[in-house]
Amino acid sequence: MRSKSSAQWLQRQHADPFTERSKKEGYRSRAVYKLIEIQEKDKLVSQGMQLVDLGAAPGSWSQLVSQWVGKHGRVIALDILEMAPIKNVEFIQGDFREIIVLEQLDKILNNKTLDLVISDMAPNLSGVPGIDQPRMFYLAEYALEFVNKKLKKGGNFLIKVFQGEGFQEYMTQLRQVFCTVSVRKPKASRSESRELYLLAKNFRG
């Protein structure tokens, strides 16, 4: 028997035009439309870029950016979870915080730095803000640590976070290492969701 919350989630999914659209257009999740809106506004991804998609599974963002970077670009997806193959996307399964995963990435990149890091990842949610909020920023801190090591000077970083405790402190950290930091709330983000996207541009290196 389904719980009330899972039944509500299913009802919301069925009524969601972005979910229906993603099925029709062959994308793995509705999250692509968040990235499309950001791309239209900010021109984040361009041909020939080398980028990493952190926490990529099920892979909808990787699907999209692999088209945008073109044949001279490179997309590397990282996730703890399994992910079905995507054309022109190289996948590393593992925790991006672990040395063995970073070594695999360095081998693929031949120790070159990245033009862009994108992250739509989130922790396993409990539904309790007091638990989920610190978990989210714990991941975000590690993502920023990854960026500090792997992003080239002048590169960009897009990450999902939750509005609430820790948000302003994280913004401050980003502003210390990037020239500009902007907040984005795409239309495809559900209005009741606390999720926001932080777009950090021009890494100081």
Instruction: Provide the annotated active-site residues.
Output: 160
**What 3-state DSSP class applies to 129?**
helix
Q: What is d(CA 152, CA 22) in angstroms, rounded to the nearest whole number?
A: 33
Residues counted in the chain: 205
Token representation of residue 182: 């902007």
Name the region of 48 (left: φ>0; alpha: ψ -120 to 50; beta: rest): left
Q: What is d(CA 153, CA 187) in angstroms, rounded to the nearest whole number?
A: 31
Q: Tell me 127's DSSP state.
A: S
Looking at residue 17, its amino acid is P
Task: Answer for the pair 170, 161: CB distance below 8 angstroms, yes or no.
Answer: yes
